[in-house]
Amino acid sequence: MPWFGSQKPINTTTLKILLTGATGYIAQRLLPVLLQEGHQVICCVRDKNRFNSHRFAPENLRVIEVDFLDTNSLQNIPEDINLAYYLIHSMSTQSGKFEEMEATCANNFRDRLEKTGARQVIYLSGIVNDAELSKHLSSRKNVEHILSNARFALTTLKAGIIVGSGSASFEIIRDLVEKLPVMIAPQWLKTKCQPIAIRNVIEFLNGVILKEETYNQSFDIGGPDILNYKEMLQRFAKIRGLTRRIGIVPVMTPKISSYWLYFVTSTSYALAQNLVNSMKIEVICSPNNLASTLGITPIGYEDAIRMAFDKIEQNQVLSSWKDAQTSDLLQKGLTQYMEVPVNGCFVEVRRQEISHPEAVLQAVWKIGGKTGWYYGNWLWEMRGFLDQLVGGVGMRRGRKSETEISAGETLDFWRVLIADKEEKRLLLYAEMKLPGEAWLEFKIEDKVLIQTATFRPLGLLGRLYWYSVLPFHGFIFGGMIKNIAAIE
């Protein structure tokens, strides 16, 4: 049970807040709101190189490195915090043991927070149907149980489908609707849910801060519409001005459904499996008066979609779920990959004189996604398709912004390691399936564009791979640097 007997009153207008999962989709939306409110925010990240602190004023922002699977790193959490947000989940992990990871993280978090001055922990979970639970929802429920047995007060907010630019649900629905004029879909398209706009989610997360009436309480949060997934697809198509025909087949196994999502959308197979298991279960809010208590007006599904596209069209997508997808690279940290190796590597360096360095730099910053790779885009797409066939990420992830990019973000089948405009340097690391490791770097020195491809092979297979693709490098990489250098 929470204990507050010896705690003194605090100034609720300026709080010291611990924000976990700070590079994730929700936290990246919540952070600017908390800073705007005047709070001091301590962001927990596994790797500081993944956190783009340049977007925020530094006065009330502090970034610390914490891995909640490593108890030693938890000592970096200061003791004088007033409250904390628990926004950690591992549903997209490749290991398949996300339930164990989430339980370990929650236990470690609770034990450390009990030694701080935190009065309240705010936890964003999923709407739970007690009659039937997927592994994902069962894990979320277990985390809530772990966090509830603590000295601090726990406020749990439970959401279903979150609709917003860059959210997993929004992007998956968008992929399905915009790519497939005809869909043959599984039975779970008949499952009902209660989607909620990302703006409402942030309003709830901010609104319950130190509200004693929410202590040790759990609230389902959702929008005003209860829809099945087929209706969500159809309404999305209507807003986009598209005609889509959707047929539902009675027999489609969870495995086939997962592969269907994996190949059509930008989700990983591990995440697709967990999503399919969750989508079979209805997630409808239990009635409560939290929205009226906090003065929040629920936003309808169609309005949430329109608001999301407003952000996309203005190139103002603040966060994307794709950037937070778990990979071996993110688990180990970006830092050890930022120093490109030399020994035992194949290195291909190309130089091209340029007349307009600033224009070329802007072109480099726009590479990938909708812009493409400036030469042989169909070959890049083919490489992505082959990668997808063997379980890789493929080219489906695109990029969050068409003009700006930061370390830690995804860029097609690359991960951005360094994006430094002052140094005029962009360094990418390949997340495709390879018998080795690959880096691609662009750098401008004076009036010369330098493009470097580095491959560190793994055994004989890695060397054979390098020599097999070497003939293609001549015209793909050669054509790419020439076209970029020619931009004025």
Q: Which of 476, 441, 474 is nearest to 455 (CA)?
A: 441
pLDDT at res. 433 = 86
**Residue 409 to residues 25, 163, 404: CA-CA distances in angstroms?**
12, 21, 10
Look at residue 292 and tell me whether its pLDDT is greater than 60: yes
| For residues 299-320, average pLDDT | 72
pLDDT at res. 3 = 42
| For residues 203-232, average pLDDT | 94
Percent of the chain whose pLDDT exceeds 90? 35
pLDDT at res. 48 = 80
Look at residue 53 and tell me whether its pLDDT is greater than 80: no
pLDDT at res. 253 = 66
Express each pLDDT in 215-226 by its tens digit: 999 999 999 999
29 SS3 class: helix
Which of 194-208, 271-285, 317-331, 412-426 has the highest average model confidence (pLDDT)? 194-208
DSSP 423-439: TTEEEEEE-S--SEEEE
pLDDT band at 320 (very low <50, low <70, confident <90, very high): very low
pLDDT at res. 213 = 95
Structure tokens at 93: 């992990």
| For residues 217-245, average pLDDT | 90
Cβ neighbours of residue 281 under 8 Å, at least 6 residues apart?
A: 129, 132, 133, 134, 137, 191
Residue 216, phi then psi, degrees to nearest 5: 55, 35
pLDDT at res. 309 = 81
| For residues 194-222, average pLDDT | 94
Residue 352 and residue 449 in contact, taking contact as beta carbons nearer than 8 Å: yes
Cα 57 from chain centroid?
22
Residue count of the chain: 488
pLDDT at res. 246 = 84
Under DSSP, the state recorded for 216 is T
In this predicted structure, which of 185-199, 242-256, 289-303 has the lowest mean pLDDT?
242-256
Express each pLDDT in 144-171 by its tens digit: 899 998 899 999 999 988 888 777 777 7
| For residues 354-358, average pLDDT | 92
Look at residue 294 and tell me whether its pLDDT is greater than 80: yes
Cα 266 from chain centroid?
12
Cβ neighbours of residue 73 under 8 Å, at least 6 residues apart?
A: 65, 66, 67
185 SS3 class: strand
Between 321 and 87, name the one with better pLDDT.
Answer: 87
Which pTM does this prediction carry?
0.70
Q: Which of 304, 488, 416, 485 is nearest to 49 (CA)?
A: 416
Look at residue 69 and tell me whether its pLDDT is greater than 80: yes
Look at residue 334 and tell me whether its pLDDT is greater than 80: no
Domain boundaries, given as residue ranges, for the chain: 16-321, 339-485
| For residues 441-460, average pLDDT | 90
Look at residue 272 and tell me whether its pLDDT is greater than 70: no
CATH of 339-485, one of 3.40.50.10790, 3.30.530.20, 2.60.40.640, 3.40.50.150: 3.30.530.20
Second CATH level (architecture) for the domain 16-321: 3-Layer(aba) Sandwich (3.40)
In this predicted structure, which of 67-81, 191-205, 225-239, 333-347 has the lowest mean pLDDT?
333-347
In this predicted structure, which of 86-95, 156-165, 289-298, 413-422 has the lowest mean pLDDT?
86-95
pLDDT at res. 216 = 95
Look at residue 4 and tell me whether its pLDDT is greater than 60: no
Dihedral sign computed on CA atoms, order 131, 196, 98, 95: positive
